C-alpha cells in the first residue's frame, strides 16, 4: 500500500516575527521620509528597536526593504478608496485623486530609489500600478456612470495627469492642490474634448 506524500503545512510566521517586520517597515518609511532612501540600515534597525541581524533576516538588501516599504505604502493608499463609497461619485473620485497626489508627492523618493535598482517595467512596479488602478478605476467608472465625468478618459490617463502634476518640483502643496483641481475640472461632463 502506498501513501500519498503530503506537503508540510505552511505555518504562519510567529507573532513576534510579524511585529518585528512591521516595526522595521514603519521605521524605514519614517526614516526614508525624513532622510531619503540612503539612510543607514543600522539607523532603521535602531529606530525599530531590533538588531541589524533581524533587519537582514527580513530584508536581505536595501532594495528588498525599499520595495517592501513602497508596496506597503501603495496598498495603504489604495485601501483608502474603500472608505469613499458613501460620498457622491464626483466627490469620491476627487478625494481619491487628491490622496493619490499627496502620496505621489511625498513618496517620490521611494519610487525614484526603486528605479535605481530596476526598470520602469519591473514586476514590483507593474504590480503597484495595478493596485492603484484597481482602487481608482471603479471610482472613475462610478462617476462616469453617474454622468458627471467624461466618458472619453481612462483611469490610467487620469492617474498620469494627477501624478505628473503632483511631482512637479518646487511647488508648494497649496499650488499642487489648485492645479490638480483645475485639471480635474476638465474631466467634468461638459468639458470640451481637445480644448
Q: Do 87 and 45 share a structural domain?
A: no
Q: What proportion of the chain, given as a percentage, has pLDDT over 70? A: 82
Residue 80 is part of a domain; what is its CATH number? 1.10.357.10
Please classify residue 60 by burial: count the beta carbons closer than 10 Å to its beta carbon, then call 0-12 exposed, 13-18 middle and 19+ buried.
Answer: exposed
For the cut 80, the answer to whether the pLDDT of residue 144 exceeds it is: yes
For the cut 90, the answer to whether the pLDDT of residue 53 exceeds it is: yes
Residue 8 belongs to some domain of the structure = no
Q: What proportion of the chain, given as a percentage, has pLDDT over 90? A: 47
Q: What are the grid coordinates assigned to 118, written together?
A: 530596476
Residue 44 belongs to some domain of the structure = yes
For the cut 60, the answer to whether the pLDDT of residue 6 exceeds it is: no
Q: Yes or no: say if 118 and 124 are a contact pair by the CB < 8 Å rule.
A: yes
Range of the domain at 29: 14-60
In this prediction, residues 20-43 reach a mean pLDDT of 89
For the cut 60, the answer to whether the pLDDT of residue 88 exceeds it is: yes
Note the pLDDT of residue 195. 46
Q: Do 68 and 53 share a structural domain?
A: no
Indicate the SS3 state at residue 166: helix
Q: Yes or no: say if 44 and 64 are a contact pair by the CB < 8 Å rule.
A: no
Q: Yes or no: say if 185 and 191 are a contact pair by the CB < 8 Å rule.
A: yes
Across the chain, mean pLDDT equals: 85
> Which residue is listed with cell 478625494?
95
Residue 31 belongs to some domain of the structure = yes
Amino acid at each position: 500500500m502506498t501513501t500519498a506524500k503530503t506537503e508540510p503545512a505552511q505555518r504562519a510566521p510567529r507573532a513576534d516575527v510579524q511585529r518585528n517586520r512591521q516595526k522595521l517597515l514603519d521605521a524605514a518609511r519614517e526614516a526614508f521620509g525624513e532622510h531619503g532612501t540612503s539612510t543607514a540600515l543600522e539607523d532603521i534597525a535602531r529606530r525599530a528597536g531590533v538588531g541589524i541581524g533581524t533587519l537582514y533576516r527580513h530584508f536581505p538588501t536595501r532594495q528588498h526593504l525599499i520595495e517592501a516599504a513602497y508596496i506597503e505604502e501603495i496598498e495603504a493608499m489604495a485601501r483608502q478608496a474603500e472608505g469613499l463609497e458613501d460620498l457622491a461619485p464626483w466627490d469620491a473620485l476627487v478625494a481619491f485623486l487628491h490622496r493619490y497626489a499627496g502620496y505621489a508627492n511625498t513618496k517620490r523618493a521611494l519610487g525614484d530609489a526603486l528605479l535605481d535598482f530596476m526598470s520602469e517595467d519591473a514586476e514590483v512596479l507593474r504590480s503597484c500600478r495595478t493596485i492603484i488602478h484597481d482602487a481608482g478605476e471603479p471610482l472613475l467608472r462610478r462617476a462616469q456612470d453617474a454622468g458627471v465625468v467624461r466618458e472619453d478618459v481612462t483611469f490610467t490617463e487620469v492617474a498620469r495627469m494627477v501624478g505628473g502634476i503632483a511631482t512637479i518640483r518646487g511647488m508648494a502643496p497649496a499650488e499642487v492642490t489648485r492645479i490638480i483641481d483645475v485639471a480635474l475640472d476638465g474631466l467634468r461632463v461638459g468639458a470640451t474634448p481637445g480644448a
